[in-house]
A and B are shown apart, each in its own frame.
Chain A
């Protein structure tokens, strides 16, 4: 009898189109919220994994700037005492540390805005050097740089920072985080650039000797992240430890307003749609009393009538949910980047493992709303005696 349901839906386009729109709105609201949270979470995980670190130690008084650099690529220059590197290195369970230096550039030749330089020491680096090795490339040479995926620079082109020329040696894969807007240079070249900047740049760059902005930490056992974070915070004063979970929490906090708004929209849509669909399905059953009576006279059992009525609304809800998810996914793919900038959060296309539960939840919840709303009218339809049903209503 599925053909009967499909034809009944198709040949009542106005009513079913309006219902589908309502279901699509519920599904889109639910899906968008999940997508944003999953996308931001996956983005942070991907960014941290690109850095190759289990923990990132930053100056306590520059925590917000550090998170902004890592999550959004908002350029910033800050340092802390280089003595922290040894302090962290001495903590048991720490396998390797990598000091990095964050420098905000002046507007460069590649970009109309300031961007983030991250200076690394190739001898201690576990962020860029292994990535280059994977691609059978040499470690970063003098005045060579690796650029984030969002920067409009191709391999081999020359970029100027503080008047110093650098050659692009490679481009990172997208992560959705601030790394996409960052440039990796050698620490040695950063100091050369700073020294030359007194003569080559409008605003000279001043770097204290042995400056450190962040220390990336690799652990012997990544399962010990929480313990070692606590030990660093206790034994190395003036520091703040960031991990993927703390960064995900930060992002979730930044997204809280938006996800609350989307949840509210889904709740309002559900609250409005549920009685609306219940009313429409009750009206549909009422106006089709004679049709239901005729179906019963032709041999439909009560169960068949129940399936036909409920099936019709479940199918409309499923089609609406599918459309809602598809349209919101399309809009998020098209405008996700702009949305991420507006909300100041990292955002990448969530992986299948995050996307499928989001799709499943939005789809399942929407279809459940449809089923719930049509349940009572469907039961009512089965209670009609064929003769009584046929005595009233139009076909």
Chain B
């Protein structure tokens, strides 16, 4: 499903060269729930963004479904992001001028989905129901709690039925109960066939994953 080899990413911090990724190899098969553990600043977010085509490494290659994404033209890379990959960011990342429902519909509109507006709205309503936000489709992000924002972002990530979801600290800053609900939701999505790659510093999430990796000093290793 996703195969990354020899990923190197570095930047300069004054005179010092920082290497968040220093020759990272990563492989993930369809249907897996991969948890990448690491401390803050260990490079796990950078890795996730490179796997999703949101950032470019200095060296290395990333293949999604056999297709090298680092050399793809902008339109094809955008199409891959919208149809194959769903993102859940550490911050909710909802558009403040759109309601929860409109935010969920957004990915479908960005790919110019052939289905009618009614179909997209119906699917958005179903997804909001799945994440436990039925009846809150008309609320703006400013009127939603942190947990509700995260769940709306998950619903949005599922809108275009992606093959893989890349989730960056989806339970950060949430209380234990909301964290449990969100992780159960991810488990359910995974059981229904969606591959999940999640990065976190929270070791409490290990039981939900099918495979756990550790990120340390720019290197990735099995836990």
Chain A residues at the B interface, C-beta cutoff of 8 Å: 1, 3-4, 7-8, 11-12, 290-291, 293-304, 385-388, 390, 395
| Contact call B49/A294, Cβ cutoff below 8 A | no
Verify B49–A298 contact, CB threshold 8 A.
no
The total of chain B residues at the interface (CB under 8 A) is 31
Instruction: Indicate with 1 or 0, residue by residue over B23-57, a CB within 8 angstroms of chain A CB atoms.
Output: 00000000000000000000000000100101110
Instruction: Decide if A294 touches B110 in the complex (CB within 8 Å).
Output: no
A291–B94 Cα distance when bound, in Å, is 8
Known interface pairs A4-B106, A385-B54, A390-B89; A298-B82 also in contact (CB < 8 Å): yes
Known contacts A294-B93, A299-B107; decide if A7 and B102 are in contact (CB<8 Å). yes
The 3 closest A-B pairs by CB, nearest first: A299-B82, A387-B55, A11-B97
Asked if B131 is at the interface of the complex by the 8 Å CB criterion, the answer is no
A302 to B110, CA, bound (A): 12
Which of the listed residues A3, A299, A388 has the most CB atoms from chain B within 10 Å of its own CB?
A299
B184 at the interface (CB under 8 A from A): no
Residues of A with C-beta under 8 A to B83: 299
- Closest chain A residue to B76, Cβ basis: A301
Known A-B contacts: A304-B110, A386-B49. Give 20 more (CB < 8 A): A4-B98, A8-B97, A12-B97, A290-B91, A291-B95, A291-B96, A294-B93, A296-B78, A296-B81, A298-B81, A298-B106, A298-B110, A298-B156, A299-B107, A299-B110, A299-B160, A300-B78, A385-B55, A386-B54, A395-B94
Distance A304 CA – B111 CA, assembled complex (angstroms): 10
A385 to B156, CA, bound (A): 21
Given contact pairs A297-B81, A299-B78, A299-B82, A395 touches B54 in the complex (Cβ within 8 A)? no
Q: A1-B110, A7-B98 are in contact. Are A298 and B91 (CB under 8 A)?
A: no
Given contacts A1-B110, A386-B54, A388-B55, contact A294 B95 (CB under 8 A): yes
Contact of B91 among A4, A296, A301, A395 (CB under 8 A): A395
Check if A294 sits within 8 Å of B89, measured CB to CB: yes
Query: In the complex, are the beta carbons of B87 and A297 less than 8 A apart?
Result: yes
Contact, CB under 8 Å: B109 / A4: yes
CB-defined contacts of A11 to chain B, threshold 8 Å? 96-97
Report B-chain residues with C-beta under 8 Å of the C-beta of A12: 97
Known A-B contacts A4-B106, A4-B109; the reply to A297 vs B52 at CB < 8 A is yes
